[in-house]
Chain A
Amino acid sequence: MNNSTFEKHRILLVEDEENLAIGLQYNLTEEGFIVELAKDGREALKIFETKEVDLIILDIMIPYLDGFEIARRVRKKDPQMPILMLTARTTREDKVKGLELGADDYITKPFHLEELLLRVKGMIKRKTWYKVVTSEKPVVSFGKNKINFENLTCSNANSNFTLTPQEAMVMKYMIENKGKIVSRKELLENVWHMNPDIETRTVDNFVARLRKYFEVNPSKPVYIKSVRSAGYMFED
């Protein structure tokens, strides 16, 4: 692993289980990250407000403020901050709640070190890639929809809303490949920077959410179309 790629990237690790926090801190530091450790919700917000961080690894069940509340507050201040939820809670409701509140990824305990590191690196790479691509054309319009990729604010025919960084990245990738078929595998590799064998359903979930935002009738999409056995295609 090329540690120099991640040098000076600062990770806020919010974990109250002492042993787990020590182990994670050691491994992330070995990978070249600078790690800020917070043992509860208050400490996490304090660090987030006073220091510049590139990614947050967030446990849900922590003292004072839970992970969901922290994600909500962080997302309000910084819509582009990558958040990885790391938790023992495995119910579908918890996952949905976490992702709805703006977590970009969700990993359940117990986890494999290699998988966690891959996801963390993927999220950092995506953030860097996203910064580069959005600087070229920050605002995109199609139909009655408008997306500002810099601050992640959007509007459709009915309302204004904000995308999560992950949603914005999927949208950005599809818009950049307008008129071309984008496979799930391609999205996982290029947007998630993940092994496509891991979870192709993740892509489908994100696309379903994007359709709810931008399509008048999500069951009959006009912009984000499904191409049978191939993937998706964005058309203006």
Chain B
Amino acid sequence: MKRKHFFFYHVVIFIIAQIAWLSLIGLWIYWYVYNYIVYKEVGDRVSPEVSYDITNVGPFVIGLILLVGLSLITIWIFRHLTVQLRLTNLYDNFISNVTHELKSPLSSIQLSLETLKSRDVPREKQKEFVGMMIKDVNRLTRLINSILQIPALEQKKIAYSYQVFSAGSAIKQILNESLEQFRLPADTINIEENAVCKFVIDIDGLKTVFDNLIDNAVKYSLQPAKINVNIRCNTQNVVIEFTDNGIGIDSKELKKIFNKFHRVYHQNIPNVKGTGLGLYQVKEIIKNHGGKIYVFSEGDDKGTTFKIELPIYQVFKKRFVAKLLKQSEQMKQVESSNE
């Protein structure tokens, strides 16, 4: 609420500033024209024989330019302020979401520990509590890693381990691992695979991509998630179409969903948990692989399709792929020298 007021005050100040500028210009024109007429009349009366065609508009025009310039600068400052406000808003939301995501597993760990400490818990139940704590620790680790990974991704400092894989089988393997990890029924993902080509990927990076997409498909669905993954190769790329049966994405949101911290709000599914970093991370990983990602949705309740294009091994063998493999080797060397 406070932030809305803050924004409102800025808009009001901006409008007042513009009115002030325009009034000043108006006054100036009035003053100039009025004086011009007076001087002209006085001149005509005092010495009518003197002809003057001096129309010294130079200072007037320069002043006008300066004023327009100042107005433009005000607009520019205002636009930057608005962007800054929007970023602050997103950042606040991010902090609030991360706080929630951190506190939930932390509470669960604390509760399990205090339970084990204060009660005589049967052996089987003890195992269950320990299992839950391990799960929570893993969840915390994933969250912290995903946050820490963002600057590294942006600065291309991630220690990728690029290797050549057969596209179809590698993606199938990743999807099956994710299915197991998310404890989803086997029929959740239907894979249509016709991709015998090879590509160069970091298997962990691509796993993060599909984990994020599956997590979103599950979270943003009113019914049990059903996912269709189509994998094929064309002359240049491995094309992966990942389609879910979720609530879909509004056309206005489609442009923003890969933005950092951005989160989609849908009235049918409020309070979806997350940090607003998942799809940004996906985009950055795909970009670092030399690929592209697109999103399509026909709107509410019509599901969402993510189309990923990754360069195939043959086409870019001599250039990009070679660079990736070299990068990977260098990273390995740095890591081993550090050890």
B window 105-142: CB within 8 A of A: 105-108, 110-112, 114-115, 118-119, 125, 128-129, 132, 135-136
- Find A109's partner among B106, B119, B129, B270 (CB 8 Å cutoff): B106
A17, B111: Cα distance in complex, Å = 12
A17, B108: Cα distance in complex, Å = 8
Q: Is the CB of B114 within 8 A of A22?
A: no
Q: Is the CB of B114 within 8 A of A20?
A: no
Q: Is the CB of A113 within 8 A of B100?
A: no
Q: Is the CB of B108 within 8 A of A23?
A: yes
Q: Is B271 an interface position by the 8 A CB rule?
A: yes
Q: Is the CB of A24 within 8 A of B114?
A: no
Number of interface residues of A (CB under 8 A): 24
Q: Is the CB of A62 within 8 A of B107?
A: no
A56, B60: Cα distance in complex, Å = 74
- Find A110's partner among B103, B115, B118, B128 (CB 8 Å cutoff): B103
Which residues on A sit within 8 Å (CB–CB) of B106?
109-110
Closest chain-B Cβ to A210's Cβ sits at a distance in Å of 25
**Interface class of chain B by DSSP:** helix
Which residues on B sit within 8 Å (CB–CB) of A236?
none
Closest chain-B Cβ to A25's Cβ sits at a distance in Å of 11
Q: Which residue of B has the minimal Cβ distance to A24?
A: B111
With contacts A111-B107, A113-B114 known, is A19 near B271, CB below 8 A?
no
A37, B296: Cα distance in complex, Å = 37
Q: Is the CB of B103 within 8 A of A88?
A: yes
Q: Which among B96, B103, B107, B270 has the greatest number of chain A C-beta atoms within 10 A?
A: B107
A17, B139: Cα distance in complex, Å = 12
Count how many pairs of residues, one from A and one from B, have CB atoms less than 8 Å apart in the complex: 72
1/0 per residue, CB under 8 A from B, across A26-50: the answer is 1100100000000000000000000
1/0 per residue, CB under 8 A from B, across A67-88: the answer is 0000000000000000000001
Closest chain-A Cβ to B125's Cβ sits at a distance in Å of 7
Which residues on A sit within 8 Å (CB–CB) of B128?
22
- Find B119's partner among A19, A30, A65, A88 (CB 8 Å cutoff): A30
A30, B114: Cα distance in complex, Å = 14
Q: Is the CB of B271 within 8 A of A26?
A: no
Q: Which among A17, A19, A20, A111 has the greatest number of chain B C-beta atoms within 10 A?
A: A19
Q: Is the CB of A112 within 8 A of B114?
A: yes
B window 192-213: CB within 8 A of A: none
Q: Is the CB of A66 within 8 A of B118?
A: no
Number of interface residues of B (CB under 8 A): 27
Q: Is the CB of A23 within 8 A of B270?
A: no
Q: Is A196 an interface position by the 8 A CB rule?
A: no
Which residues on B sit within 8 Å (CB–CB) of A61?
100, 271, 273
Q: Is the CB of B99 within 8 A of A88?
A: yes
Q: Is B330 an interface position by the 8 A CB rule?
A: no
Closest chain-A Cβ to B19's Cβ sits at a distance in Å of 35
Q: Is the CB of A113 within 8 A of B111?
A: yes
Q: Is A179 an interface position by the 8 A CB rule?
A: no
Closest chain-B Cβ to A71's Cβ sits at a distance in Å of 14
Q: Is B272 an interface position by the 8 A CB rule?
A: yes
With contacts A63-B271, A64-B270, A88-B99 known, is A19 near B118, CB below 8 A?
no
Closest chain-A Cβ to B200's Cβ sits at a distance in Å of 38
Closest chain-A Cβ to B169's Cβ sits at a distance in Å of 33
A27, B107: Cα distance in complex, Å = 14
Which residues on B sit within 8 Å (CB–CB) of A24?
111
Q: Is B20 an interface position by the 8 A CB rule?
A: no
Q: Is the CB of B115 within 8 A of A26?
A: yes
1/0 per residue, CB under 8 A from A, across B269-309: the answer is 11111000000000000000000000000000000000000
A90, B104: Cα distance in complex, Å = 13
A window 89-148: CB within 8 A of B: 89-90, 109-114
Beyond A23-B112, A64-B271, 11 extra complex contacts between A and B, CB < 8 Å: A17-B104, A19-B108, A20-B108, A23-B108, A26-B115, A64-B270, A65-B270, A88-B100, A110-B107, A110-B110, A113-B110
